[in-house]
Amino acid sequence: MNWEKNVRRVVPYVAGEQPNKKNMIKLNTNECPYPPAPGVAKLAAGMNCDALRLYPDSNTTPLVNALAEYYQVSPRQVFVGVGSDDVLAMAFLTFFNSDKPILFPDITYSFYDVWADLYRIPYKTCALDENWHIRPEDYKQPNGGIIFPNPNAPTGLMEDMSVVEEIIASNPDSIVIVDEAYVDFGGKSVLPLLEKYDNLLVVQTFSKSRAMAGLRIGFAIGSEKLIGYLNDVKFSFNSYTMNLPAQIMGVEAVRDDAYFKETTGKIVATRERVKKELKKLGFTFPDSMTNFIFASHESVPAEEIYQALRREDIYVRYWNKPRINNCLRITIGTDEQMDRLLSFLREYLSK
Ligand code: PMP
């Protein structure tokens, strides 16, 4: 009768909703508004389903090799998983095994504290400064590991490589994970720091800039030693994490660099235009380097705007949480979608 005392109870992460309405404008989960590379659709159409009888390559060799070539690292420095959430969950399990707390910003990806609680990892949050930047000195206290996104989410702000390096250099006894989910929208990856630091793990995803959230592909790049430990844990957990279609289509997405640059370039151009328009409407926001803008209005509460947009089937993300409960995170969609959003806001805010 008392079996519940043995249950690992957790408070799960709450993802943005996935409504499926005709003509809706979905700007709430930072997906890409453009389709994946054209070669991906061709592969999907010509998929040899007989191959699905067999287990996929548990080492995801072709995808690891394609990523290694693209990022100019050794294949032994690449780890692939089922979305970066899977990669990050593995990395927490593998690298955060100290009695000392791990450190991450107070305003950040809200999955970090969920994984910490799931694995019983102690953690401490470090407050972003008043301009929502990371204070590197906060990360010079005893810790069992460090993680932050760069650019950060949901603020959209990018820290200079020198700030990231200062944090890594001050923590030779910890593993520092830099979550670069949004780095492809004009940001600068800290991958070059791998030449100097073997305690750095860089995590990226195909979900945003490569328009493949539905396939679930994420990856980590780090020293051979770190990747070796990550693989040991993965192969102690589930060898066949990545399905065959994802492995095949992922390679194609990496190969079509021209399409990748074209779509990310379009999103950046739309973002910069939307920034100007939102400013004219009385919004303020940190200068985003991502595919979203984290905006507050000068007079109308964020929750009110969020509800009004929802009634129009325009979905953005809102959190009723301390410090950020007057902000909306608006994903950058196509120009047409953003124009519809802006024209609604123009009318709504003029009332
Ligand atoms: N890191 C950050 C900062 C994110 O916002 C997200 C998206 N929710 C992820 C990682 C995970 O993305 P995915 O699992 O789709 O790669």
Our mutation pick for probing the ligand 1 site, out of 17, 28, 67, 179, counting the most ligand atoms within 8 A of Cβ, is 179
Q: Name the residue with tokens 């030449």.
A: 195
- What is the C-alpha separation between 220 and 234, in angstroms, rounded? 13
Q: Whose CA is nearest to atom 1 of ligand 1?
A: 181
Atom of ligand 1 lying closest to residue 217 CA: 16
Ligand 1 atom nearest to 84, measured from its CA: 16
**Across the beta sheet with 317-318, what order do the strands follow?**
283-284, 292-297, 328-331, 317-318
For residue 221, the cross-strand partners are 78, 202
Atom of ligand 1 nearest to the CA of 16: 8
CA of 84 to the centre of ligand 1 (A): 6
Pocket of ligand 1 (CB under 6 A): 83-85, 109, 149, 153, 179, 181, 205, 207, 213, 218
Which numbered atom of ligand 1 lies nearest the CA of 213? 15
- Which residue owns the Cα nearest ligand 1 atom 12? 84
For 89-147, the pLDDT digits (tens) are: 999 999 999 999 999 999 999 999 999 999 999 999 999 999 999 999 999 999 999 99
Give the pLDDT confidence score for residue 297 in this predicted structure.
Answer: 98
Q: What's the gap in Å between 82 CA and the centre of ligand 1? A: 11
pLDDT at 323: 93
State pLDDT tens for residues 306-342. 999 999 999 999 999 999 999 999 999 999 999 999 9
Average pLDDT in the chain: 97
Are the beta carbons of 147 and 202 closer than 8 angstroms?
no
The alpha helices in the chain, defined as continuous H runs, are: 38-45, 61-71, 83-95, 112-118, 161-169, 224-234, 244-255, 257-280, 302-311, 335-349
Interior angle at CA 318, CA 312 and CA 320, nearest 5: 130
Q: From edge to edge, which strands make up the β-sheet containing 102-105?
A: 78-81, 218-222, 200-205, 176-179, 146-149, 102-105, 123-126
Residue 218 — pLDDT band, cuts 50, 70, 90? very high
Q: How confident is the model at residue 55 (pLDDT cuts 50, 70, 90)?
A: very high
For CA atoms 319, 324, 327, 331, the dihedral sign is negative
User: How far is Cα 203 from Cα 19, in angstroms, rounded to an integer?
Assistant: 28
**Cα end-to-end span (Å), the chain:** 59
Number of CB atoms found within 10 A of residue 207's CB? 22
Give the other-Cβ count within 10 Å of 106's Cβ.
14
Which residue from 235, 198, 195, 260 is spatially nearest to 81, judged by alpha carbons? 235
Interval between CA 85 and ligand 1 midpoint (Å) = 6
Beta-bridged to residue 328, according to DSSP, are: 295, 318
Q: What is the pLDDT of residue 303?
A: 98
Separation between Cα atoms, residue 129 and residue 245, nearest integer Å: 43
Count CA within 13 A, CB hemisphere, residue 73: 21
CA of 175 from ligand 1 middle (Å) equals 20
Out of 28, 207, 210, 288, mutate this one to test ligand 1's pocket (max ligand atoms within 8 Å of CB): namely: 207
Residue from 86, 109, 219, 329 to probe ligand 1 pocket by mutation (most atoms less than 8 Å from CB): 109
Query: Full-prediction pTM beyond 0.85?
Result: yes
The letter for the amino acid at 208 is: K
Full 3-state SS string of 4-18: HHHCCCCCCCCCCCC
**Which atom of ligand 1 is closest in space to residue 205's alpha carbon?**
16
Question: What DSSP designation does 299 have?
Answer: S
**Which of 17, 30, 84 to mutate for ligand 1's pocket (most ligand atoms within 8 Å of CB)?**
84
pLDDT in tens, 61-88: 999 999 999 999 999 999 999 999 999 9
Q: What angle do CA 253, 334, 346 make, to 5 degrees?
A: 160
For residue 242, what pLDDT is reported?
96
What type of residue is 176? V
Gap between the Cα atoms of 205 and 214, Å rounded: 12
Predicted confidence (pLDDT) at residue 16 exceeds the cutoff of 90: no
Q: Which atom of ligand 1 is nearest to the CA of 108?
A: 3
Are the C-beta atoms of 298 and 284 separated by less than 8 Å? yes
Q: What is the pLDDT of residues 186-202, one digit of tens each?
A: 999 999 999 999 999 99
With helix as H, strand as E and coil as C, how does 183-240 read?
Answer: CCCCCCCCHHHHHCCCCEEEEEECCCCCCCCCCCCEEEEECHHHHHHHHHHHCCCCCC
**DSSP letter assigned to residue 26:** E
The answer to whether the CB of 103 falls within 8 A of the CB of 126 is: yes
Query: How many angstroms does the Cα of residue 179 sit away from the middle of ligand 1?
Result: 8
Place of tokens 């074209």: 262
Which residue among 88, 111, 215 has the greatest number of ligand 1 atoms within 8 angstroms of its CB, and so is best to mutate? Answer: 111
